[in-house]
Amino acid sequence: MLRSIHIKNVALIERLDMEFSNGFNVLTGETGAGKSILIDAVNLVLGERASKELISHGADKAAVDAVFGLENAGDAVLRSLDELGVERSDELFLSRELSSSGKSVCRLNGIMVPLNVLKRVSDLLVDVHGQHEHQSLLNPASHIRFLDAFGAGELLSVKEKLFEAYQNYKALQKSMLSGFSSQDEREREMDILCYQIREIAAAKLKSGEEEKLNAERALLANAERIQTAFALSGEALSGDGGALALVSAARKEMQGVEALSSEYAALHKRLEEAYFNLEDIAYTLRGAGEGAEFDPKRLDAIETRLEHIKSLKRKYGASVASVLEFCVQAQAKLDALTEDTKMQSELSARLGAALSAYDIFAAELTKKRRSAADELMRAVLGELSELGLEKSRFEVRFSERAGMEPAANGRDDVEFLLSTNPGEPLKPLEKVASGGELSRIMLAFKAIFAQNDDIGTLIFDEVDTGVSGRTAAVVGEKMVRIADARQVICVTHLPQIAALADAHFLVEKHDDGKTTRTSVRLLPLEERRAQVALMMGGGGEGFAFGHAAELIEKGEVQKRERRVALRL
């Protein structure tokens, strides 16, 4: 349940702390006092869309913190918190800040989370009905869940058997499909592997090939510069007046004096060695220069081959070795899938048997659901009749789930249809009515489902719009009945409903001539009587006050008697 809420700088609320009762909480106040602001604040912390216009004038940001007690939280809430990694405790803290720049900061137990995560959790905690829609009953996808909750006692056993059959079917299907979601996906994977293997094999890649081609491309691209360098080098060595001629002349001169000294002989020998080395270099330059010819066709072939290798590397690996290893692994996968195909016949027979078992339980579940739907239709019409919608028609419409593939919840699609006026066709709930009429329809459903719904807090924003007299009293009684099992927070303008509150809050607006502020306070018994009397149109004393006191006392007696009976 919602234990408390702290609001700061939301519209006319500068700062407000509220603590709520377990049962039936009522908020009343004059029109324009700020009751809708409270609902806006609640929706803000629940993760609903919010405009920066909600921030109080002159403030940089608005902030709302909410504390929920988790002692009796449903399994869905606890599972969701576990999945999100939120540590369990007796309390859950939700908070949201909205800045003037439009930025929203959300936290769960002090840990920053995305807005969609905050809303995912809050959807399991609170339903807000009325001016701001937060209504799980309006979503057709949730109708089968409500029907199953209504008929839980009859449906639970067969649903468990169905789910077991479904899991068996999916396990066999996974084996048959080698982990793929469908046969088409499996075949597509095999086709892709075949294509990849053929493409790599056709390229006939060789280890080290890319490096050799790059080296050859560099030579061909620089052929003219290479030829020029060889030609000039050769001319410098063996041309007229070149290095060879000069070294040869020096060698001859030293030959004439080498006999005179061992030192001269050594120099002559070195000159001879230098001459023969230069001669060898000149010979090499002539041969190498003749081979360095520009071949545009060969260069184009190399560029094409390198681009092909580059394309394969983009697809399959960072190097030629990686591409070749990819091909080996792809062949291994393809071989495994091909081998699995040989087992298809046996698996197909077992899969067919599993599907037949599933269909038996699915048919049984559909039969029980239709029986539960008949009971639900009678219950809904009874509730609507008491709420002044006695001419309504309600139907639970069944259709087979699209596609033949088994689902964990059976083969049924369910949608609730309603008509509130004679002669009008049945329509989906969200298209039937608006305002007070829609709120009463939601109240009827909640009165039926309250015992089975995991959502712990229901907020009704002026659910009583358009009702009065005996219908108003019935609306109040139904909300009190819901509050026996769930926390209810109701914004109302009807004294018949306010008189039934476990906790009565008064919303007031204050104007000091400079600023206008909204405040909320919990009324003690005497002020409750006076407030209910004012809502009747009377003053704080006399007949209206006495009638208000009588209404409150009568409501207290009825609640005590019913809650004692529930405990028994």
| pLDDT value, residue 342 | 58
Largest CA distance in the chain: 153
Residue in this structure with the two tokens 């704080």, named with its chain if needed: 540
Residue at 93 is within a domain: yes
How many CB atoms within 10 Å of residue 434? 9
Backbone angles phi, psi at 54, to 5 degrees: -75, -20
Residue at 91 is within a domain: yes
| pLDDT value, residue 183 | 66
CATH number for position 492: 3.40.50.300
Residue at 477 is within a domain: yes
Distance CA 10, CA 2 (A): 19
β-strand partners of 167: none
In the chain, how many domains are there?
1
| pLDDT value, residue 374 | 95
Backbone angles phi, psi at 486, to 5 degrees: -135, 160
CB-based contacts of 486: which residues, under 8 Å, 6+ apart? 1, 450, 453, 455, 456, 457, 458
Decide: residue 542, CB within 10 A, 0-12 exposed, 13-18 middle, 19+ buried.
exposed
DSSP 207-241: TTHHHHHHHHHHHHHTHHHHHHHHHHHHHHHHSTT
What pLDDT digit, counting tens, does each position of 447-474 carry?
787 666 678 888 888 766 666 677 778 8
DSSP 269-309: HHHHHHHHHHHHHHHHHHHHHHH----HHHHHHHHHHHHHH
Residue at 147 is within a domain: no
What element of type H or E holds 14? strand 13-19
Quick one: DSSP state of residue 137? G
pLDDT < 70 positions in the chain: 130-136, 177-183, 288-293, 339-345, 402-403, 433-439, 450-453, 463-468, 538-542, 566-568
Distance CA 465, CA 461 (A): 9
| pLDDT value, residue 430 | 76
| pLDDT value, residue 135 | 58
Residue at 117 is within a domain: yes
β-strand partners of 64: 7, 96
Owning domain of residue 45: 1-125+456-523
Residue at 158 is within a domain: no
User: How much is the pTM?
Assistant: 0.60
Residue at 23 is within a domain: yes
Residue at 313 is within a domain: no
